[in-house]
Amino acid sequence: MSPLLLSMFALCAPNAESPPRPNIVWFIVDDMSANFSCYGEKLVVTPHVDALAARGTRFAKAFVTAPVCSPCRSALITGCYQTTIGAHNHRSGRGDLKINLPGDVVPVPALFRKAGYHTAIGGFGATAKRLGKTDYNFEWPKEMYDGNDWSGRKRGQPFFMQVQLHGGKYRGQGPSKAWQERVRRELGSPTDPAKVVLPPYYPRDPVILQDWADYLDCVRQTDREVGQWMSRLEKEGLLDNTVVFFMTDHGISHARGKQFLYDEGIHVPLVAAGPGIPKGEVRSDLVEHIDLAATSLSLAGVRPPAWMQGRDLLSKDYRKRDAVFAARDRCDETMEHIRAVRTDRFKYIRNYLPNRPHLQPCRYKDEKAIVKRLRELHAAGTLDSLAEKLLFAPRRPAEELYDLGGDPHETNNLAADPAHQETLKAMRSRLAEWERRTGDKGRQPEPVEMYDSDMKEYLSGGGKTALEDLRGNIDLNKRWAAEEAKSAGR
């Protein structure tokens, strides 16, 4: 063995007298808000996630930096804002034109693997040699994962495992008899739609209520799956030396949740338990999901690299955040540019494309039964004034400001209120400074060549009607973009 390899082995291998390095497990759940018992949900019971919180730490104010799968996961796996690494547009880099990580940035599994860990990503969708969900918007080395399960590791080798759970996606695009039958079979009676408590801007319509009830049953199923994985860790004698993190990749998929920067879209559950994690603690400070990378590496004895923007939440010199930031950009064919900064009390949202409606045409969301129903109620004129204002106004305000203390559902925009102008200016300045400091790559429109490259992939499959809708949406977005560029003098 060469002297170089010997030195690298010495750096990565644990000292014979050192305690074994902990295994690290991430549970990553699709499309789910913090609707768990330990977070105050009353209609369903989630004993396994609750137990995890009881033996560890629950973060009450955890937020994702992107409210849709691929940019969120791209940020999570690098510990960097998706806007910094150019991975901010949903499902981008999938066509002929690719996205590569900038500078020295590498995905976290590569760092764990370099440190001697077995790396795996499995869970939902993983079969045989197929990995679990990745959904990264950049090119990544396939060898950074050793497989889809920790069982393939060497004797005594620590592992870093990502367990992907289907979460809110179980309910599909609308009320499903098949899903409700599965709930009866595996969980007992389904959640009663009549007992569902909705945010004030959603109508108590049967379709909306049934969808939310189905979603809460997805929460129950997720809790059941967490219990199964935890039971396996215990049976294999691994639990005592494994740090477990549980979180979701964004909030509930609904008209003001997934894809949007209201708390319905960016507030997520985050629970940690295992060696090195304070037991029975609830932290109310603001944290971002990109902090998982630095925290996990530190627990494994690996120093987080200087380029990583996430912070070690357990560091002795950890400085609590006084604000968190989030960004929404193109989702599928629908162009968008929204930014937000949130403190304990206030949320400021900047809509850079205010002439576009909130519910822009989007094939993915327009195929959902809840969105179809909302559009039907809007067309019939039967929505109340709050729903009309928040969901169907033909244009949006350039700025939104909410006092979360008295308005947790973000329904009363204070941006034009004379009494809040100092707060507005301060939050506006804070967001602008973050965009500058982090090198927000979304400040410039996505190049037409990249958009066309990705849209070519979207147009490669689907039924005739769906493709016609998609082509119409693409043409509309390109026309709007041209008009916006002309108006901005570009």
User: What does residue 185 show for φ and ψ, rounded to 5 degrees?
Assistant: -70, -40
User: How far apart are alpha carbons 296 and 304 in whole angstroms?
Assistant: 9
What's the predicted TM-score (pTM) here?
Answer: 0.95
**C-alpha–C-alpha distance, residues 193 and 248, integer Å:** 24
| pLDDT tens string 383-425 | 999 999 999 999 999 999 999 999 999 999 999 999 999 999 9
433-465: per-residue pLDDT in tens?
Answer: 999 999 999 999 999 999 999 999 999 988 899
In this prediction, residue 16 carries a pLDDT of 44
Contact call for residues 473 and 455 (beta carbons, < 8 A): no
| Residues 254/78, Cβ–Cβ less than 8 Å | no
Residue with tokens 């795996």: 120
- Cβ-count burial of 124 within 10 angstroms (0-12 exposed, 13-18 middle, 19+ buried)? middle
What is the average pLDDT across 64-72?
Answer: 98
pLDDT greater than 60 at residue 14 = no
Using the predicted structure, report yes or no on whether residue 9 has a pLDDT greater than 70: no
Residue 265 CA to residue 68 CA, distance in Å, equals 8
Residues of the chain above pLDDT 70, percent: 96
**Alpha-carbon separation of residue 190 from 43, 194, 216, 217, 382 (angstroms):** 11, 12, 9, 7, 29
pLDDT, position 19: 76
Cα(411)–Cα(201) distance, rounded to whole angstroms? 8
Helix (H/G/I), strand (E/B), else coil: 32: coil
CA 440/CA 82 separation, integer angstroms: 9
> Mean per-residue pLDDT for 285-314?
98
290/174 Cα distance (integer angstroms): 31
Question: In a 3-state reduction of DSSP, which class is residue 167?
Answer: helix
CA distances from 325 to 63, 216, 311, 339 (A): 8, 27, 14, 8
pLDDT in tens, 74-94: 999 999 999 999 999 999 999
Average pLDDT over residues 479-490: 91
10: pLDDT strictly greater than 90: no
Averaged pLDDT, 51-70: 98
Taking residues 356-382, report their average pLDDT. 97
Chain mean position to CA 395: 26
pLDDT surpasses 70 at 5: no
> In the predicted model, is pLDDT for residue 125 greater than 50?
yes
Handedness of CA 233, 237, 239, 242 (dihedral sign): negative
The tokens for 393 are 């106004």
DSSP 77-119: TTTS-HHHHT--STT-S-SSS-----TT---HHHHHHHTT-EE
Choosing among 3.40.50.2300, 3.40.50.300, 3.30.1120.10, 3.30.1330.90, the CATH entry for 328-447 is 3.30.1120.10
Whether the CB-CB separation of 481 and 445 falls below 8 Å is answered with: yes
CA 145 from chain center: how many Å?
A: 21
Name the residue among 183, 242, 177, 157 with its Cα closest to residue 44. Answer: 183
Residue 281 bridge partners (DSSP): 57
What CATH number has the domain spanning 22-318?
Answer: 3.40.720.10
Q: Is 313 helix (H, G, I), strand (E, B) or coil?
A: coil
Show me where the domains of the chain are located.
Answer: 22-318, 328-447
Asked whether residue 12 carries a pLDDT value surpassing 60, the answer given is no
pLDDT of residue 18: 67
- DSSP count for the chain of H helices, then E strands: 15, 11
Say if CB 435 and CB 427 are below 8 A apart.
Answer: no
Could you read off the pLDDT of 174-226 as tens digits, one per residue? 988 999 999 999 999 999 999 999 999 999 999 999 999 999 999 999 999 99
Both tokens of residue 415? 């941006």
DSSP-derived letter for residue 321 is B
The chain-wide mean pLDDT, for the chain, equals 95
Query: What does the block give as tokens for 346?
Result: 């206030």
Residue 481's Cα: distance from chain center in Å? 27
Dist. CA 32–CA 246, nearest whole Å:
12
Q: Grade residue 17 by pLDDT with cuts at 50, 70 and 90.
A: low
pLDDT tens for 268-284 read: 999 999 999 999 999 99
Tokens of 12: 């990565």
The mean pLDDT value for 315-338 works out to 98
- Pair 271, 245: CB distance under 8 Å: yes
| 343 and 352 Cβ atoms separated by less than 8 Å | no
Per residue in 222-259, pLDDT tens? 999 999 999 999 999 999 999 999 999 999 999 999 99
